[in-house]
Amino acid sequence: MIIGSLLEDKKIEKRISITPETAKKYVDQGFEVILPKNYGEHLGIKDNAFTDSGVKICNEENEIIEKSKIILQLDILTDVNCLKMKENQIFIGSLNPYNNEDKIKNLTKRKISVFSLELLPRITRAQSMDILSSQANLAGYKAVIESFANFEKAIPMMMTAAGTIPAAKVLVIGAGVAGLQAIATAKRMGAIVFATDVRMASKEQVESLGGKFLTVEGAENLETEGGYAKEVSDDFRKKQEELLSETLKKIDIVICTALIPGKKAPVIVKEEMINNMKAGSIIYDLAAIQGGNTAHTKVNEIIDKNGVKIMGEGNILNKLPTSASNLYAKNVFNFVLNLYDKENKKININLEDEIIEKTLIK
C-alpha cells in the first residue's frame, strides 16, 4: 500500500501534505511512502529527514502517480497529472470542490475516489482531521500580526510623562475558529477588542476571551446544524449594517473572517462604511479568496480608500507554512487512518461512516 505526494506550485501553495513525522507514522502502520526530490526543501526539510523516516525519494512525478494507491495534496493536481491518475486510486486534499468542480468530475467519472477535507462533518470524532479548524487557527493569529505590522500606531495603552497613548480598537467580523483566535491574539497584545457574528452561540466564546460581543437587538441564532453561519434575512442585514456603520467610526483595525462554505463571501463592510472610518485604519480581509467581506477587497493587494488600507490575502498560511504543514499533515494522517483496515491491509470506503460519506465527492 503506497502513499505518495507531488510538489505543489510554490507560487500558490507552500504547505506540504506529508512531514517526516507523519511519514514515519505511515511507515509504522505498514504503508510505503514515496515523495519527489526536494519535497520539503523550501521549508528547510532536507530529503534525508524523509529517508530517515523510511520514505523513498523519487525523481519522476509519473512514477509517483503510477505507483501510489493514495495521493495526498493540498490543491487539486494539474490537468496533465489528473489525466495520469487511474481507476481505484484515492486522491485526498483540500480541493475547493466548488471551484474545481469540472476537474473533480473528470476524476470521479474514471472511478477515482476523491476526498475533500473541507467537507468534514463537525462531529467530535472528526476533530483530529479537521483542517478548517487547524488552519483557521493559524490564519486568525497571523491576520492580527500582519495588520498590527501595517498599523502606524502603538497597540496597547501606554502611559508616559509626555501623555497617554490610547489602546487600539479592533473589530473582528466573524467569530468562528479564525475569529476567536484573532480576538485572543489582539487581546493579548493589548488591544480593546469587539466582535460580531450572526451566531448567538458565539457571544459566550467572545466574552470568555475578553472581547465585547456586538449584537443586533432581537437577533436570532443564524447557525446551521453543522455549526456554520446561515445567510441572513434582509431585515437582519439592515439592522446589522446600522450597528456596524456606527461601530466602524471608532475602530482602528478590522479583521474580516466571515465565510459561508461553498458560496461567495458576504460583503459586510460597505463602501459608505469605509468612507466613514478614520484615516490610518486597517481592514485585513481573510475572506478575500472567496470575494472578500468588503466592497473593495482584492486578492494579494493593499487598496487605499481615503487613507484606510484594505488588505486582501490569497493564502495567509503561506506566511506560516511550516506550522501549517505540521498541522495539516497530522489531520490528513488521521483521515487516512480512518480509511485504513489495518488487519486486512486495505482501504475500506465505508459509506456508513459519516466522515467518509461526507468527504467523498460522488
Active site (catalytic) residues: 122, 127, 130, 133, 228
Pairing relationship of beta strands 70-72 and 2-4 according to DSSP bridges: parallel
Q: Smallest Cα–Cα separation from 209: which of 197, 223, 225, 227?
A: 197
Distance between CA atoms of residues 3 and 29, nearest Å: 12
- The count of other CB atoms within 10 Å of the CB of residue 30 is 10
Residue 226 zone, left/alpha/beta (φ > 0; ψ -120 to 50; rest): alpha
Provide DSSP, 252-274: SEEEE----TTSPPP--B-HHHH
Alpha carbon distances (Å) from 138 to 116, 124, 150, 179, 180: 20, 21, 19, 10, 11
Residue type, 193: V
Phi, psi (5° rounding) for residue 181? -65, -35
Distance between CA atoms of residues 332 and 186, nearest Å: 30
- The count of other CB atoms within 10 Å of the CB of residue 42 is 14
